[in-house]
Amino acid sequence: MTDARLLTRALSDPASTLAFDSADWTALIAMARAEQLMGSLAHRLDGLDLPEPVARICAAARVSADHARRQALWEAEMARRVLVPLGVPVVLLKGTAFVAAGLSAGVGRSIGDLDILVPRAALDAVEKALIEQGGWEWVKDDEYDDAYYRDHMHELPPLIHQDRDRMIDVHHTILPLTAGRSPDAEALLADSEELDVSDGGGGLRILSPPDIVCHAAAHLFADGDLAGGLRNLWDIDRLLRDFGEHDGFWEVLGERAERHELVKPVGRALRLTERLYETPVDGEVVGKPRTNDNRYASRLLARDGWGRETRKFLRLTFYIRSHWLRMPPTMLARHLWTKWRK
Amino acid sequence: MRHEFRVTVGPVGFRVGSDWRRPLAEMAALYDGYPEAAIPDFTVRLEAQRPWRRFIRPSVMIGGDYMLPDAAPLSLDHGLLAAEMGMNLQMALGQRRFLLLHASAVERDGKALLMTGHSGAGKSTLSALLGERGWRFMGDEFALIYPETGLLHAFPRPVSLKNEAVELFDSVDANRLGPVMRDTPKGTIRHLRPPVDAIAKMADPAKPALLLFPRFGHDPAMRDMGQAEVFVRLTQASTNYVALGETGFAALTKLVQSVPTRAIDYPDSDAAIGAVERLWGELA
């Protein structure tokens, strides 16, 4: 049975594509697009002797990624202009942070929303400034959803910009409040680092390297149903290759994972990225292989050469799990009931 | 997928997969004479909404590399239309090599005439009629401008004839026509395969020489257009102008500054063809 191993291998070892025939290439491109990894793949394949159609598809994908990067940085700048005068730390997260900091994980990456982290105490001021001065507005006007976000989530209800049509997610921590694990948001902010910006647009921050990895692992394995998981795992591979050589990185990563109650997700992330992307990993936090790792790998790779989702039942179990992770059972029942009645 | 069809149109290769044989058999007949695509640029999928919907009230979901989340499914009778829409969607959302303009185009003496305007303005019908009258048909839906050269590349898909336009082509060779599809979201649709020379020369680009904004159903009239207006209307007619960034801006600016442009109103196709020939003689 074909699965996305073709894609993970091409990403970690681009030279493996030298033996590809037309059918392999066709499948690879469909998978990469479906997993939002075409831009990353195009950069990895750059410089290889590629068949002409593949070369032009990759060139186009790099154009797309350049555009995504430019747009993401512009959104960050727009938020910076509104928020920095408030005097609160503003930490960029995920894709925007990767491109702003020049990390390998940002190379060719597709970027959707702008994600930022601010102190919980500053949420009201941040929201007010974005709406009154920045031109953002609420996406949905639904009392239940709004209250749900404010009471139980790790972020404000999503805001969208009136003119630019781009979303901003304002986080005050990195997992839903109902998740059972409580990352130390104050420590995330305290250890964050000011972005080195030479053009004068200072004031934005990114998480410390171990915290970036903790967040990526939390996002992938402690929240959500693993949709887009191969891309998120590729982020982790690139981050670990960037940071892994730093002195003491792996020990600190273990300490931070413990502090944020993320030892399991971080260990799982390390084992799976080692398995799928051959990432060099180290330290105790890797943990022992668990039988469940196979299920995770199988779910992450559930994609065929037409770009279709496969392994429907396995996907469903992860979907159910994602709700379970976010909510205690009675709360889940109440939530589904309210949603169902609409 | 169960069934597969591959085709190259101009500089773009497509692979269409389907849960049903029929839409692809119709495609194969319609695209007779087009080249294959070994490594296609885009994948389109025609899928049953649920497994049993392959057989019971079959409904065709349009999927592919690039998708709209809320696209409504079509009936199997409109499966060919679904495939064409899927291909359009890939171009509109995924094309990054060319500046893509929603325009039709024909060529003569190595020079291209571009026609753009709102849907229903008649640009598609006009390009097809000109294609039967000594011009080389280059496409009725998308004009592809290559930013590095400013040249127009042909994208000569079968023409999508709508409603009244269908009977204008009753006299062409019947094997060039696809099935008549009634009650589609856009009324009655029938596809027309372009003339043989349009397919044979589809790899040859042409230099844009005249840009028209035709409008069907009005008294004959002609109007000069300022470059600013042309520029803004072309940004609206492009699906990837913004995504191409500076490259798109440079390509579009060059086009607007170098190509004479007119808006023309016309009451019927004969008047339009007359006006086109006259303007081409004066300006191109």
CATH of the domain at B226: 3.90.228.20
Domain architecture of chain A: domains with CATH: 5-341 (3.30.460.40)
**A60 and B97 in contact by Cβ < 8 A?**
yes
User: In percent, how much of chain B has pLDDT > 90?
Assistant: 87
Residue B225 lies in a domain: yes
Please indicate, yes or no, whether residues B263 and B199 belong to a single structural domain of this protein: yes
Q: Which of B94, B113, B145 is the last residue of a domain?
A: B94
Please indicate, yes or no, whether residues B232 and B113 belong to a single structural domain of this protein: yes
Please indicate, yes or no, whether residues B198 and B75 belong to a single structural domain of this protein: no
DSSP string, B149-181: T-PEEP--PPEEEEGGGGGGGTTS-GGGB---E
Please report the pLDDT score of residue A200 as a whole number: 57
Please indicate, yes or no, whether residues B108 and B138 belong to a single structural domain of this protein: yes
Taking one residue from A and the other from B, the number of pairs with CB-CB distance under 8 angstroms is 57
Residue A48 near residue A94 (C-beta atoms within 8 A): no
Residues of chain B found within 8 Å of residue A308, distances taken between Cβ atoms: 45, 47, 63
From the number of C-beta atoms within 10 Å of its C-beta (0-12, 13-18, 19+), residue A186 rates as exposed
Specify the 3-state DSSP secondary structure of B142: strand
Q: Give the distance from residue A282's alpha carbon to the nearest chain B alpha carbon, in angstroms.
A: 37
Please report the pLDDT score of residue A201 as a whole number: 63
Residues of chain B found within 8 Å of residue A22, distances taken between Cβ atoms: 38-39
Residue B265 lies in a domain: yes
Residue B183 lies in a domain: no
Task: Choose from B12, B36, B61, B96 for mutation: most chain A CBs within 10 A.
Answer: B96
Provide the token pair at B186. 């856009």
For residue A275, give the nearest of A296, A258, A260 by alpha carbon: A296
Please indicate, yes or no, whether residues B216 and B115 belong to a single structural domain of this protein: yes
Residues A337 and A322: their CA atoms lie apart, in Å, by 17
**B244 and A30 in contact by Cβ < 8 A?**
no
| Among chain A residues, CA nearest to B98 | A60
Q: Give the distance from residue B10's alpha carbon to the nearest chain A alpha carbon, in angstroms.
A: 13
CA distances from A29 to A10, A32, A235 (A): 11, 5, 19
**A30 and B66 in contact by Cβ < 8 A?**
no
Task: Choose from B6, B18, B39, B41 for mutation: most chain A CBs within 10 A.
Answer: B39
Q: Give the distance from residue B105's alpha carbon to the nearest chain A alpha carbon, in angstroms.
A: 24
| Among chain B residues, CA nearest to A62 | B96
Asked if the C-beta of B13 comes within 8 angstroms of chain A's C-beta atoms, the answer is: yes
For residue A173, give the nearest of A158, A183, A181, A160 by alpha carbon: A183
Residue B188 lies in a domain: no
What ipTM describes this predicted complex? 0.93
Q: Give the distance from residue A26's alpha carbon to the nearest chain B alpha carbon, in angstroms.
A: 6
**B66 and A33 in contact by Cβ < 8 A?**
yes
Domains of chain B: total: 2
Please report the pLDDT score of residue A176 as a whole number: 87
**A25 and B39 in contact by Cβ < 8 A?**
yes
Q: Give the distance from residue A68's alpha carbon to the nearest chain B alpha carbon, in angstroms.
A: 8
Please report the pLDDT score of residue A94 as a whole number: 96
Residue B178 lies in a domain: no
**A51 and B41 in contact by Cβ < 8 A?**
no
Residues of chain B found within 8 Å of residue A66, distances taken between Cβ atoms: 245
Please indicate, yes or no, whether residues B230 and B118 belong to a single structural domain of this protein: yes
Walk along chain B (284 residues) and give the pLDDT tens digit of each residue: 999 999 999 999 999 999 999 999 999 999 999 999 999 999 999 999 887 888 888 899 999 999 998 888 999 999 999 999 999 999 999 999 999 999 999 999 999 999 998 877 788 999 999 999 999 999 999 999 999 999 999 999 999 999 889 999 989 999 999 999 999 988 999 999 999 999 999 999 999 999 999 998 889 999 999 999 999 999 999 999 999 999 999 999 999 999 999 999 999 989 999 999 999 999 98
Please indicate, yes or no, whether residues B141 and B279 belong to a single structural domain of this protein: yes
Q: Give the distance from residue B122's alpha carbon to the nearest chain A alpha carbon, in angstroms.
A: 32
**A54 and B39 in contact by Cβ < 8 A?**
yes
Residue B43 lies in a domain: yes
Residue B41 lies in a domain: yes
Q: Which residues, numbered 83 to 122 in chain B, qualify as contacts with chain A under a Cβ-Cβ cut-off of 8 Å?
A: 94-97
Please indicate, yes or no, whether residues B226 and B143 belong to a single structural domain of this protein: yes
Residue among A30, A63, A66 minimizing CB distance to B65: A30
Cβ of B242: how many Cβ atoms within 10 Å? 12
Which range marks the domain in which residue B35 is found? 3-94
| Among chain A residues, CA nearest to B17 | A306
Segments of chain A scoring below 50 in pLDDT: none
> Phi-psi region for residue B33, left (φ > 0), alpha (ψ -120 to 50) or beta?
left
Please report the pLDDT score of residue A197 as a whole number: 66
Please indicate, yes or no, whether residues B28 and B84 belong to a single structural domain of this protein: yes
**By 3-state DSSP, what share of chain A in percent is helix, strand and coil, each rounded to 5?**
60, 10, 30
Please indicate, yes or no, whether residues B67 and B205 belong to a single structural domain of this protein: no
Please report the pLDDT score of residue A199 as a whole number: 57
Q: Which of B66, B94, B122 is the last residue of a domain?
A: B94
| Among chain A residues, CA nearest to B41 | A57
Please report the pLDDT score of residue B112 as a whole number: 98
Residues of chain A found within 8 Å of residue B9, distances taken between Cβ atoms: none
Q: Which of B75, B94, B113 is the last residue of a domain?
A: B94
Please indicate, yes or no, whether residues B62 and B141 belong to a single structural domain of this protein: no
First-to-last alpha carbon distance for chain A, in angstroms, is 41
Please report the pLDDT score of residue A1 as a whole number: 52
Please report the pLDDT score of residue B184 as a whole number: 93
Asked if the C-beta of B132 comes within 8 angstroms of chain A's C-beta atoms, the answer is: no
Kindly report the backbone phi and psi dihedral angles of residue A260, in degrees, each rounded to the nearest multiple of 5, phi listed first: -90, 10
From the number of C-beta atoms within 10 Å of its C-beta (0-12, 13-18, 19+), residue B164 rates as exposed
Q: Give the distance from residue B40's alpha carbon to the nearest chain A alpha carbon, in angstroms.
A: 7
Residue B255 lies in a domain: yes
Please indicate, yes or no, whether residues B150 and B198 belong to a single structural domain of this protein: yes
Q: Give the distance from residue A250's alpha carbon to the nearest chain B alpha carbon, in angstroms.
A: 38
Residues of chain A found within 8 Å of residue B64, distances taken between Cβ atoms: 307
Residues A80 and B235: their CA atoms lie apart, in Å, by 29
